[in-house]
Structure 1
Amino acid sequence: MSELLDKRKFYIDGQWVDPKAADDLEVIDPSTEEPVAVISLGGQADTDAAVAAAKAAFPGWSATSKEERLAHVEKILEVYQARGKDMAWAITHEMGAPADMSAGDQVMAGVGHTKNFIRAFRDFEFVRPLGDHAPTTMIAWEPIGVVGLITPWNWPMNQVTLKVIPALLAGNTMVLKPSEIAPLSSMVFAEILDEAGLPPGVFNLVNGDGAGVGTQLSVHPDVEMISFTGSTRAGVAITKAAADSLKKVALELGGKGANVIFSDADDKAVIRGARHCFYNSGQSCNAPTRMLVQREIYDRAVETAKEVAEKTPVASGHDSGQHIGPVVSKKQWDQIQGLIEAGIKEGARLVAGGPGLPEGVNRGYFVRPTVFADVSNDMTIAQQEIFGPVLSIIPFEDEDEAVRIANDTAYGLTNYVQTQDGERRNRMARKLRAGMVEMNGESRGPGAFFGGIGRSGRAREGGVWGIEEFMDSKAISGWDRDA
């Protein structure tokens, strides 16, 4: 723990440097409510120094060959995998993911995304012909410049690699501001990039909060793009802050996913959906938190979801095993408790869990896996993103009603469909308004993008779309195909 205790420095221009002014913040372990590290919150001078380093490095980095950038990222992947234990420790202690989940899904998300970007980049053409009808017109893809990357605490390496790796491959330089609640994993990531030999200034890290460094990056005249993942409220603020400088803004925001379960769904559909809702203590923007169940199987589904909730163990993130850990902070815990209380007050039927700490627990930000039945879609718990292990079950009669309820939301990230009827699956996939639709428990294929519509933002992260997100396109006529 001692090596992670004092983490006040920032990574700027290839060096770990002290902040210009002291502004300490403790990183709290949500399993124990005890501080595990101290970081500094950056100020304007720190942000300016990082942006200046990135701006100075841009001409050289953007001129590197495709092969050189690919070699750097392959080296980053090698070092990242070697530092897996350090990364898992950091994630568990900063945001509470259980030890096995941190070492597995949390850390490995970064491995998977990086490998998918490498695969997509091998076939990436920076200059492409428009088509046979216009043989001398070409479309070129070029780096944007200095990009500001603002990442959340719930899936730290998932989000950092979805931004840093494609930004590097595209030829950009960057400043990363990770969540100040969960910054330790990103500091390990900066060490990885340093060890991998990335040229100074290409990647910079400044810790800070949204009102400070986040806003400073959003308004900075030398930052050409902001890529942000987090709450819809913060995404709106960033968009407004960035407007005066006309920089590109890519937002990956909240969700309120509908999981539509028809009466002919497979036997494990409800179990799968409830477990997915509770996974990562419900702290995933793509969690299927609204379970829409066809009336014929509704009562049985409610009973099954209740059993899943009651059999879902809650324990310290430090422990091994298949349990869920705490939520990230006292603020988050309080918000979730308020929404559970709102569900009860508005007349939803509480069938599992509920307010307060789990039995036998007196410290740590733990939430009881909670199931509400007989929810109507106008209730607060059906409309607001809870970001905790809280499932709302809503009955429907037929396909048309299911579509109407599912689409009755300001969000549009991921929806889910469970049915054995292939034609109905295909119809539902096209009718549901969302950036992603996953059906019958099948994950999207490697290299498919992640992203939504509406108040979920419209970023496209992952695969070739994720690389193009960090580039500008240029149309060129009169190209000499023989030169």
Structure 2
Amino acid sequence: MRQYPHLYIDGRWTEPIEPRETELVDPTREEAFARVAMGGAADAERAVAAARRAFESFSTASVAERIALIDRIIDVYESHADEFSELIAREVGIPISNRAQVTGPAEHMRVARDLLREYPFESRIGGAIVRREPIGVCALISPWNWPVQTGVIKLIYGLAAGCTIVAKPSLNSAASGALMAQVLHEAGVPAGVFNLVNGTGREVGDTLSRHPDVDLISFTGSTAAGKQVGAAAAGTVKRVSLELGGKSANIVLPDADLERAARWNIQRCFFNAGQSCHAPARMLVHESQIEQVVPFLVDEARRYRLGDPLEGSTTMGPVVSAAQFKSIKDLIQTGINEGARLVTGGLERPEGLDQGYFIQPTVFTGVTPEMTIAREEIFGPVLSVLSYRDEEHALRIANDSPYGLGGYVFGSDRTNARRVANGLRAGRVSYNGAPTDSYTPMGGYKQSGIGRSMGRFGLEEYLEIKSVYGFEDEAQALPTLFG
């Protein structure tokens, strides 16, 4: 049994004030493999106090000093890459073949570092100086489905801005959170600049959300939990950044390459066992072409090799927990009960896997917009295929959702496809499976969140804006913000 008995506060590994632990369950073997320390409200208070003390000096660190710090973090992180890969396979079932989970964080660190080299922290409008300054102490609450990357995106832009941090990873991925704290410690992050407190949302998360000395709270998770964070934070009028749920639609236009669209949709939807907020979990196909796409969907879904995530040949591991396993199975049953047509997958365990929280890659057709599986975020390897009559109908279906995180369009007429893409009410839209760019903003419309992460927009989440007047001569040497 691995042991992670400490929190990380004020540059030191320390035991919780009230000694408590929780077990991490390996979702492949359905048995505990690690024990981690559980902090409480008093530990969160300690961490915020340490971050507040450290902010006074770290907020004045030069850009060159922050760049050098990020370079050290990158070097140390990459020396632990294999350890991260093995650890997230054990704690959340992500296959070691999924290298993006480990290489992605380093890429985001480099983007933040490179942005620092050219970002204008001072600019001018007319004769006034406009300064961007670190917002202060930031509480970062990250999820388990991207256990390293989501937390890294938050903390690296916070550090780049000159902020200090209290991080609370998901309890499902607390071991990789502890390893990330070790990386920052080895990289020489000054005491108090980064702090780690494991714990429940009800105790640690709520304390951080309400704390008057926390200036920003960044939360990634479910929409229901995000609403609670926002309500708790309102009492101290702190900045809130939320990346929440999604039920993204992929509109496949009649002139699209149907095989390409179908295979890509399965690959993107079932990546990470479907545990991704941006997953295109609704595929919208013209009513005359449904039967043409089904064979491609079924064939691609059946290509996954389910098994032990520690084996290099595995392409889909288990879902994260018994609770998630039950939730997904219940929603598959609901789809069947409501009359959707199951074309592959279903409720049975995958062949040869009698242990572990494994869900078969599952595809439904005949799904209508009012069905539960078309509206609720399933967060598992389940695709709902809906039909539409024309493009106006497709956009109406796609946008008839409380969510607006991602959107996708496939088609051959670029002008028409762009018009459809512009009509999607979502924070990120991709045409014909185009990859995303780490310099561009990520975030959602509607109940998918508030604010943006990554790139310049992500850095600015952690910056306050100050206008300074009376220094007209000095302002002339600065870049112009507006014409």
Q: Same fold (TM over 0.5)?
A: yes
Match of 1:126 in 2: 121
CA distance in 1, matches of 2:246, 2:201: 20
Residue number in structure 2 paired with 1:222:
213
User: Which of 27, 40, 57 does residue 24 from structure 2 map onto?
Assistant: 27
- What SS is found at the alignment partner of 2:34? strand
Residue 322 of structure 1 and its aligned partner are, at CA, apart by 4.7
Counterpart of 1:178? 169
The alignment covers a number of residue pairs equal to: 474
1:119, distance to aligned residue in structure 2 (A): 2.0
CA contact (8 A) 1:370 1:391 kept: yes
* Aligned partners of 1:127 and 1:139 also within 8 Å: yes
Distance in 2 separating the partners of 1:12 and 1:481: 44
Tell me whether 1:209 sits opposite 2:206 in the alignment: no
Of 319, 323, 336, the match for 2:311: 319
How far apart, CA to CA, are the structure 1 residues paired with 2:278 and 2:451?
14
Q: Deviations over 1:296-338 (max 9, x none)?
A: 3221112211222222221111211252000000000111011
Q: Quote the Cα distance in structure 2 between the aligned partners of 1:212 and 1:362.
A: 36
Equivalent residue for 1:164, pick from 145, 155, 158 = 155
SS in 2 for 1:374: strand
Q: Which of 88, 92, 96 does residue 95 from structure 1 map onto?
A: 92
User: In the alignment, is residue 271 of structure 1 matched against residue 268 of structure 2?
Assistant: no
Distance 2:186 2:14 in 1: 16
> Do the aligned residues in 1 keep the contact of 2:407 with 2:428 (CA within 8 Å)?
yes
1:26-175 correspondence to structure 2 within 5 Å: 26-101=23-98, 104-130=99-125, 134=126, 136-175=127-166
Kindly indicate whether the alpha-carbon contact (under 8 Å) linking 1:31 and 1:318 is maintained by their aligned counterparts in 2.
no
- TM-score, normalising length from structure 2? 0.96
Match of 2:242 in 1: 251
User: Percent of aligned positions with the same letter in both sequences?
Assistant: 43
Secondary structure in 1 matching 2:53:
helix
- Given the alignment of the two structures, is residue 426 of structure 1 paired with residue 418 of structure 2, yes or no? yes
Structure 2 distance, partners of 1:419, 1:289, is 18
TM-score (norm 1): 0.96
Query: Is 1:345 equivalent to 2:342 in the alignment?
Result: no
CA distance in 1, matches of 2:349, 2:473: 68
Secondary structure at the residue paired with 1:174? strand
**1:7 partnered with 2:15:** no
| Residue type of the alignment partner of 1:191 | Q
Contact 1:261–1:293 (CA<8 Å) still a contact in 2? yes
In structure 2, runs of 5+ residues without a counterpart are: 476-483
One-letter code aligned to 2:411: T
Contact 1:121 1:464 in 2 (8 A): no
Deviations 1:208-235 (A, max 9, x none): 1111111111111111110000000100
AA matched with 1:109: G
Deviation at 1:138, TM superposition (A): 2.2
Q: Is 1:305 matched with 2:297?
A: yes
Aligned 8 A contact 2:306 2:314 in 1:
no
- Bigger mean CA offset, 443-452 vs 88-97: 443-452
Task: Give the letter aligned to residue 125 of structure 1.
Answer: P
Amino acid at match of 1:128: S
User: How far apart are the structure 2 equivalents of 1:279 and 1:418?
Assistant: 19
Deviation, 1:458, is 2.1
Give the alignment partner of residue 278 of structure 2, picking from 276, 286, 302: 286
1:186 CA displacement: 1.3
1:405 aligned counterpart, secondary structure: helix
Q: Separation in 1 of the partners of 2:390 and 2:3?
A: 57
**Where in structure 1 are there 5+ consecutive unaligned residues?**
none
Conserved? CA contact 2:261–2:432, under 8 Å = yes
| CA distance, structure 2, for counterparts of residue 273 and residue 119 of structure 1 | 33
Q: Distance in 1 between matches of 2:471 and 2:25?
A: 57
Answer yes or no: is 1:395 the counterpart of 2:387. yes
